[in-house]
Structure 1
């Protein structure tokens, strides 16, 4: 599936909203001065940075993360219900608590759908009393199947209910015709996080595999199925063969490689062995002439595997995918089994989250904009949006100035880049048009039914886009999310309300800290439109080759240096950061810091930055950057991130400062210190 959203953190959300031309003045900076925009004491420290979290015994040039965050790191324990913990998680907890208050108030309103949904999850006694009964009709339908054509229909039916099946599908803009929607497909269906968990010769991953088989057997046993161990082993063998034909995450992030247009006939011709007709018809795609297929060879391989695998094994695979997808909404034995593997084995988390947190997450995921309306009204004041808008304005202006000065980009390409920037759309806080849930049925005391209907509602809402104009108001995240994203096919960046809070953004904080925090995040998302993949989209969002070959060659020479730099980081002995997988995000951090620092200087209006509590403006800027990436990890969670996530871990993201010339001067970093790079070694793209 073509996934065009590029989030600040790992995200499963897909393509969102709009392209709208901005006036030329959009590229003109707005001077905001050196004083905080809002009077009062900031949330952190005296100027927006928590100085007590530093470890000044550490030399900044040897370990900037340790210097800025070492005190916090030593004093912070990862909560028992977390696999990692940092400033993002702290804000997530705040967002969860605020959303809980909204949902608990909604429970008291008899006609509130979000209240009914939350109550259906929170009635644990009623859920436990039902056991596996809520999904038994699905399981019975799977077991009653007598041929592979009928099983393909069941796969499609369960896909529409949110079950993870061999192929994922979504309706989104056509990357090469972004004024039209098209049905899109991508590889899916593995129960472990990535193909490496099945295939890689690694001792830690080898220990996970038998535990996964035991988990599958546990699910079958809980559902009352006999011979669970043998059947689980056969499912594992099937998934291992599936993993062998899956593309790597590096190949799957290449916008050119994953753009493959297939006709309806191509499915049968290029991927024979799977009953595509029954499958596509049940998905609602029967009348569609064209599709995008992200990993063609994986579809060919999975279709052959489907044809070669005995029907009982395929049925058992679909059984466990269905049980696993809905285990969180069943009785305690299913919940506990799911958490023991997915939470503890894969992520190292000792305890499941309290039920209220899981309930808040569920309703937020399934009816996010219904909750979001109340959240914005209560927790996102207009002055916060206005201040964020001004900051975004300055970041975009600074990026435009950077583009004009680039030595490696041809003048004609540079002009097109500036035109793309001028057509850019930032979205701040919340959608201008809220999603309508009036046709979604939520019933009291029917948790699994509510989840299935909500999943089906969203599937149908997405399906209904086919043949209609592009919805340029749609968002791919909710206002409660602590995240942000870029959408190249829409030439936009989106910042939900919940991330526009301390330590990322505090109207009462020193501007230097805000520019180092949310300013660098804004620059990060903006630059995704010009990174190794985003650069392939023009000002209309069309995937097209608008750079010269000379531009690409010079650009790649710079990005290859960044790949090599990150390949050298080894957060776990024997497990390095994958420089190529994380290239887009590392480039975005590099650009975000560079451009936001420029914007901070512009905001001073030619005046010198004041010294506050002994820290210069540049020092406060880089400390603001380091503060937002305070993060601690449990080892299994960190390993999973290194294998599957295009984002580098927090400490390595902080290390991006070693490519910034002003950082060296600000902290007197000299040759011989561990983070020191010679001027020639520093990667400077923008």
Structure 2
């Protein structure tokens, strides 16, 4: 998709010319009027729901945001149940998604096969005799979706975003983050032990004695831990420039001969003389360990990696072992249903094929038109906010607005769908279907190397409840999945839509100007477009966000990592502010008459609290705090609103209220 430039007047004209269905009154219920809104707005709006809603046993949480993907998967399952029963032409998207789903639902055949589909992989590991053959296996396995020690992908060059290059990133560990290997609190130790038990269970299921399986698990864990020690933290990974290290392959080959970069890239089919090594310390560590750890031990490690990678694609005993570990780390009480898991699998492997069926049934063109109006209006409001900034010079403001209006907007679904013709799908070969889809995805990525970036490509599926900003393409993306209540309702009043999806739009636009996005120019290249003085002022405001959010706690003792979450928190604060400004541009936003029991302004802020209406298991909250760059939902509401002055007026927030911040302390960046 080409970048679009929407001058100020054009955005207003487009908004004025589009027609929409008649709006309906949507009552806001469940508000707890016994509470002061200014003490805990999340609880004021969501507390009644939170205290009464059960978390489904097959989930780690319930509500909006990412947990809306649970009812989404039920929708997808209904589509798949239908097409799986149909008689469609060979190679059609209906045939492929239907047969892929049917093969995964055929648990009798999967059970009968046990781990037979994995034996060729385990036999290939047994045949490894030395470092070159070990690295040859690692390369071949990664081409079929079985990645391990090496993390290589093809994507835009941060300093030449129109071209695709090879990138390498830190990988090699089985727990969600490096810190899980080094923390000593009881909850983390419990997860470490559960992980070892999981590994041991998998080895036993493939014929290893219980004693030997325990030894193998301990060995794998120690290799993991050594690799984890070289990993950058999630805070360090936010440093855009430090994580861009374009190197000559010849230099890597000379400096890291045990990896054998030239041979490895050749085995991948990646013909290139340079590669961006995001985290060099990992590969330095790996190069040393490949020599110091015996090949026999690496073979055990690779078997563990392959077993964990494919456990959910094998018979019930493997699936149960996988879930036993999931239960410890997430708090999820029962496994997901087979249908839900297979809907997720089809969405993962054939997402844009399934997405075409989803969009046809659930996403009307009128919704796309209204969403574009909302995006354009929030963009216009953003430009006006930039003009009013008192800390930024006129020259930097001009560059910021140029970048703002160069943003590409992707809504609903891709203009060009992915081609899945290379994926071979049979109704009774689920494991092979997974491998075929993963292989086709690898080949699709490899074909990009050295080619111009396809700006029409999407990095999520149309049905997923998410939105994202891609700084290397200077684009914002809103799949059809998020364009439903409570975020977006084509028939709802503006207050609910601007407080819902409007806040998300503002959030994604702000990622263009957060601590990472601000380092990319309008063309998606890492390039400085700031004056030194302006950038220093910007960083001081970013530090205010880090400091404030670091004071917020969850489960009484866990603190939000302000440095890890600063980009998302910045986007939340500015997202609310700019969405409110855009709302005030509408006739309803300029009105004060109550709708139901609330004024339009109140409905706007109530909508913000509703879109983060989420309840999670304690275990999942702990996982979230350590690994998710977003703050927990309660602080995605209360954090931004305590910095939003119109919220104070709408709900009479006064000194003494727990969310009250003196006006001079309220953070404004954009």
Structure 2 length-normalised TM: 0.96
Instruction: Tell me, in whole angstroms, the C-alpha distance in 2 between the residues paired with 1:317 and 1:29.
Output: 59
Deviation at 1:21, TM superposition (A): 3.0
Instruction: Tell me, in whole angstroms, the C-alpha distance in 1 between the residues paired with 2:324 and 2:164.
Output: 40
Instruction: Tell me, in whole angstroms, the C-alpha distance in 1 between the residues paired with 2:423 and 2:194.
Output: 38
- How do residues 575-654 of structure 1 correspond to structure 2 at under 5 angstroms? 575-604=558-587, 607-654=590-637
Instruction: Tell me, in whole angstroms, the C-alpha distance in 1 between the residues paired with 2:333 and 2:173.
Output: 24
Q: Runs of 5+ in structure 1 lacking a partner?
A: 1-17
* Match for residue 45 of structure 2 among 55, 68, 74: 68
SS in 1 for 2:62: strand
CA contact (8 A) 2:15 2:376 kept: no
1:170-196 per-residue CA deviation (whole Å, 9 max, x = no partner) reads 111101001111011100121111011
Are residues 1:372 and 2:355 paired?
A: yes
* Match for residue 523 of structure 2 among 533, 540, 558: 540
More divergent stretch after superposition (105-114 vs 663-672): 105-114
Q: What is the aligned partner in structure 2 of residue 262 from structure 1?
A: 247
Instruction: Tell me, in whole angstroms, the C-alpha distance in 1 between the residues paired with 2:40 and 2:174.
Output: 38
Deviation at 1:527, TM superposition (A): 0.9
Are residues 1:240 and 2:240 paired?
A: no
* Match for residue 665 of structure 1 among 649, 654, 657: 649
- How do residues 518-597 of structure 1 correspond to structure 2 at under 5 angstroms? 518-597=501-580
Cα 1:650–1:273, aligned 2, differ >3 Å: closer, same or farther? same
Q: What is the aligned partner in structure 1 of residue 65 from structure 2?
A: 88
Are residues 1:228 and 2:228 paired?
A: no
Q: What is the aligned partner in structure 1 of residue 260 from structure 2?
A: 275
1:575-598 per-residue CA deviation (whole Å, 9 max, x = no partner) reads 210000000000011111010000
CA contact (8 A) 1:480 1:496 kept: yes
SS in 2 for 1:201: coil
CA contact (8 A) 1:30 1:394 kept: no
More divergent stretch after superposition (251-260 vs 622-631): 251-260
Deviation at 1:265, TM superposition (A): 1.5
Deviation at 1:353, TM superposition (A): 0.6
Deviation at 1:30, TM superposition (A): 5.9
Cα 1:165–1:386, aligned 2, differ >3 Å: closer, same or farther? same
CA contact (8 A) 2:8 2:380 kept: no
Q: What is the aligned partner in structure 2 of residue 476 from structure 1?
A: 459
* Match for residue 33 of structure 2 among 56, 66, 84: 56
- How do residues 284-299 of structure 1 correspond to structure 2 at under 5 angstroms? 284-285=269-270, 287-299=271-283
- Measured on the aligned residues, the alpha-carbon RMSD in Å equals 1.8
1:328-386 per-residue CA deviation (whole Å, 9 max, x = no partner) reads 01000000000110x20110101111000000100111011111111111111111111
Where relative contact order (Cα < 8 A, 6+ residues apart) is larger, the structure is 1
CA contact (8 A) 2:424 2:433 kept: yes
SS in 1 for 2:642: helix
SS in 1 for 2:164: strand
SS in 2 for 1:181: strand
Instruction: Tell me, in whole angstroms, the C-alpha distance in 1 between the residues paired with 2:15 and 2:169.
Output: 46
SS in 2 for 1:79: coil
Q: What is the aligned partner in structure 2 of residue 418 from structure 1?
A: 401
CA contact (8 A) 1:32 1:604 kept: no
CA contact (8 A) 2:494 2:588 kept: no
Instruction: Tell me, in whole angstroms, the C-alpha distance in 1 between the residues paired with 2:551 and 2:10.
Output: 37
Cα 1:531–1:40, aligned 2, differ >3 Å: closer, same or farther? closer
Cα 1:92–1:250, aligned 2, differ >3 Å: closer, same or farther? same
Instruction: Tell me, in whole angstroms, the C-alpha distance in 2 between the residues paired with 1:684 and 1:467.
Output: 42
SS in 2 for 1:51: coil
Deviation at 1:215, TM superposition (A): 0.9
- How do residues 123-272 of structure 1 correspond to structure 2 at under 5 angstroms? 123-226=106-209, 227-272=212-257
Instruction: Tell me, in whole angstroms, the C-alpha distance in 1 between the residues paired with 2:669 and 2:631.
Output: 19
Q: What is the aligned partner in structure 2 of residue 14 from structure 1?
A: none
Deviation at 1:268, TM superposition (A): 2.5
Cα 1:200–1:294, aligned 2, differ >3 Å: closer, same or farther? same
CA contact (8 A) 2:589 2:600 kept: no
Instruction: Tell me, in whole angstroms, the C-alpha distance in 1 between the residues paired with 2:348 and 2:491.
Output: 31
Deviation at 1:551, TM superposition (A): 1.3
Instruction: Tell me, in whole angstroms, the C-alpha distance in 2 between the residues paired with 1:325 and 1:498.
Output: 27
Deviation at 1:642, TM superposition (A): 0.5
CA contact (8 A) 2:178 2:229 kept: yes
CA contact (8 A) 1:85 1:631 kept: yes
Instruction: Tell me, in whole angstroms, the C-alpha distance in 2 between the residues paired with 1:267 and 1:132.
Output: 38
Q: What is the aligned partner in structure 2 of residue 13 from structure 1?
A: none
CA contact (8 A) 1:161 1:452 kept: yes
* Match for residue 79 of structure 2 among 81, 99, 102: 102
Deviation at 1:95, TM superposition (A): 2.0
Q: What is the aligned partner in structure 2 of residue 315 from structure 1?
A: 299
Instruction: Tell me, in whole angstroms, the C-alpha distance in 2 between the residues paired with 1:347 and 1:541.
Output: 36
Structure 1 length-normalised TM: 0.94
1:224-250 per-residue CA deviation (whole Å, 9 max, x = no partner) reads 134111111111111111111111011
1:43-101 per-residue CA deviation (whole Å, 9 max, x = no partner) reads xxx43x5412x222111111111101111101111110111111135632332222122
Instruction: Tell me, in whole angstroms, the C-alpha distance in 1 between the residues paired with 2:148 and 2:9.
Output: 45
Q: What is the aligned partner in structure 1 of residue 470 from structure 2?
A: 487
Instruction: Tell me, in whole angstroms, the C-alpha distance in 2 between the residues paired with 1:270 and 1:30.
Output: 59
1:381-405 per-residue CA deviation (whole Å, 9 max, x = no partner) reads 1111111111111011001111111
Cα 1:55–1:677, aligned 2, differ >3 Å: closer, same or farther? same
Q: Runs of 5+ in structure 2 lacking a partner?
A: none
CA contact (8 A) 2:472 2:523 kept: yes
Deviation at 1:207, TM superposition (A): 1.8
Counting matched residue pairs gives 660
Cα 1:236–1:607, aligned 2, differ >3 Å: closer, same or farther? closer
More divergent stretch after superposition (427-436 vs 565-574): 565-574
CA contact (8 A) 1:178 1:540 kept: yes
1:507-555 per-residue CA deviation (whole Å, 9 max, x = no partner) reads 2222111101000001101110111110111111111111111111111
